[in-house]
Amino acid sequence: MLSEKLQKAFNEQINAELYSEYLYLAMKSFFEEAHLKGVANWFDVQVQEEHAHALGLYDYVHERGGRVELNAIAKPVLEGKTPVEIFEQVMRHEQLVTSKINALTDTAESEKDRAAVSFLDWYIKEQVEEEANVRHLLSSLKMIGEDQHALLMLDRELAARKYNAPVIG
């Protein structure tokens, strides 16, 4: 059974993951409107991943006999008007998610809940991958600069990205 403190922290993380899904859906729309279908596809995969992350936490809370409490999801705000600015926001957001996962893990450790710590290890590793992927894309976009041809080449590359359902835990 999850402690009340840990259950609350898991519920907060579920909300954070659902917000990430919502934010990335807004970003997908931004790139759809810019006719960059490949970048929009990259965000579509992110939307699906964030949804899976939320459901993984949701299922874990229930598996441990806890209660899931869904809260309102804040309206996403895009902080940029260019691909570089949007991906800079993505990087800041992923770093925030990493800090939230780390704080959730800290709570699990302080509650001496080894099962939760073990479960959250997957999320910690996932965040390393998420940040690395965004860092790579942001670096590519910065190198591209104003080169529209290079942006279209990157767009075609990102169109090939496929969603692979994660095995969480």
* Domains of the chain: residue spans and CATH: 4-159 (1.20.1260.10)
The whole-angstrom distance between residue 98's C-alpha and the CA centroid of its chain comes to 9
CA distance 144 to 48: 27
CA distances (Å), origin 21, targets 5, 91, 121: 25, 15, 21
Return all residues near 25 (Cβ < 8 A) that are at least 6 apart: 43, 47, 76
CB-CB contact of 154 with 144 (8 Å) = yes
Q: List, for residues 70-117, the tens digit of each pLDDT value.
A: 999 999 999 999 999 999 999 999 999 999 999 999 999 999 999 999
Of 59, 77, 79, the residue nearest 10 (C-alpha): 59
CA distance 32 to 103: 34
Q: List, for residues 110-140, the tens digit of each pLDDT value.
A: 999 999 999 999 999 999 999 999 999 999 9
Residues in the chain: 169
Q: What is the mean pLDDT of the chain?
A: 97
pLDDT at 169: 81
User: Residue 48 is encoded by which pair of tokens?
Assistant: 């699906």
